[in-house]
Amino acid sequence: MRKRSARALRGSAATALTVATGLALLSGCGLSDHRETGAQGAGTGSAQPSIAPKAPVPPGKPLGPDAHVPDTGVVDDNDATAVSTAWAETTYGYDTKYDTSPQDAVLRGIRWCTERKAAAERGYRPAGGPGNEWITWARHRAWTTVDVTSELEDDAPPDGERIAYRSLVVSGTAHGRDGWEGTGPRLNAYVKLVRAGVGKPWRVDDVTVVEAARPPSPSTSATAGAPSDDPRQ
């Protein structure tokens, strides 16, 4: 089942990559990949907004000694795969005891990003809450761990002296402090990395993500009308 899921993710990612290589990749670290984005409808001409603006989600608390966040160790900056993997492990490694939204982990991952991308993340203010899945994790004061695999895409461009692309399969698990365990982040991330020249460090410059489809949890599917703890985001 995992091979089929990964193959489906790679197939969806390959379609996205074909479009992405012909157009500009998403600007700023995240957007559709690891930040909540609200849909923007066409203007109605009304002087008053139809929906009141949402207050930004507050930042998380400083990490305490019991925080569970990834320790990537020493990473070879001259290895594009190692840099992109470290970025994914950090960006999707949440601890809901301290983090109030995925953006807190995104900010921990900007050390692997270009200055442009890092600045975009620091200036981003998520609004509207982190979603029902996050609420489920937070209910158990859970942290997430992810297994990151670099997949070779047949149609991916070869590495250049200053630009490289990596397709990553991210499969995560949520671990509750109360002993609960559930599904964590599941996605395929197509990462663009750049560097100033040969011998210079690789840095993540853009990301396109295809989220994995998630089946409804057994508890919610068995109870009609019950709110889902495992929504599709």
What is the pLDDT, as a whole number, of residue 186?
97
Full domain range(s) for residue 177 = 2-36+68-215
What is the pLDDT, as a whole number, of residue 128?
75
Asked whether residue 145 is domain-assigned, the answer is yes
Instruction: Give the mean model confidence (pLDDT) for residues 225-230.
Output: 41
Answer yes or no: are the C-beta atoms of 68 and 54 closer than 8 Å.
Answer: no
CATH number at residue 19: 3.10.450.230
Highest mean pLDDT among 48-62, 77-91, 203-217: 77-91
Asked whether residue 135 is domain-assigned, the answer is yes
Query: What stretches of the chain adopt beta strand conformation (E)?
Result: 143-151, 163-175, 181-194, 203-211
What is the pLDDT, as a whole number, of residue 32?
46
Asked whether residue 81 is domain-assigned, the answer is yes
Model pLDDT for residues 142-166, shown as the tens digit of each residue = 999 999 999 877 777 899 999 999 9
- pLDDT band at residue 218 using 50, 70 and 90 as cut-offs: very low
Q: Which two tokens stand for residue 22?
A: 């012909």
Asked whether residue 228 is domain-assigned, the answer is no
Tell me how many domains the chain contains. 1
What is the pLDDT, as a whole number, of residue 3?
40
Instruction: Give the whole-angstrom CA distance, residue 13 versus residue 207.
Output: 11
Asked whether residue 106 is domain-assigned, the answer is yes
How many alpha carbons lie under 13 Å from residue 225 in its C-beta half-sphere?
A: 0
Alpha-carbon distance values, 214 to 43, 58, 139, 182 (Å): 33, 28, 20, 12
Answer yes or no: are the C-beta atoms of 53 and 145 closer than 8 Å.
Answer: no
Asked whether residue 18 is domain-assigned, the answer is yes
Query: What stretches of 8-157 adopt beta strand conformation (E)?
Result: 143-151
Answer yes or no: are the C-beta atoms of 114 and 207 closer than 8 Å.
Answer: no
Answer yes or no: are the C-beta atoms of 96 and 134 closer than 8 Å.
Answer: yes
Q: Which two tokens stand for residue 74?
A: 């020493």
Supply the mean pLDDT for the chain: 78
Q: What are phi and psi of 11, to 5 degrees?
A: -65, -40
Asked whether residue 58 is domain-assigned, the answer is no
Of 36-50, 112-126, 132-146, which range is least confident? 36-50
Asked whether residue 30 is domain-assigned, the answer is yes
CA dihedral 73, 66, 231, 26 (to 10 degrees): -40
What is the pLDDT, as a whole number, of residue 223?
37
Model pLDDT for residues 56-75, shown as the tens digit of each residue = 788 889 999 999 999 999 99
Model pLDDT for residues 68-103, shown as the tens digit of each residue = 999 999 999 999 999 999 999 999 999 999 999 999
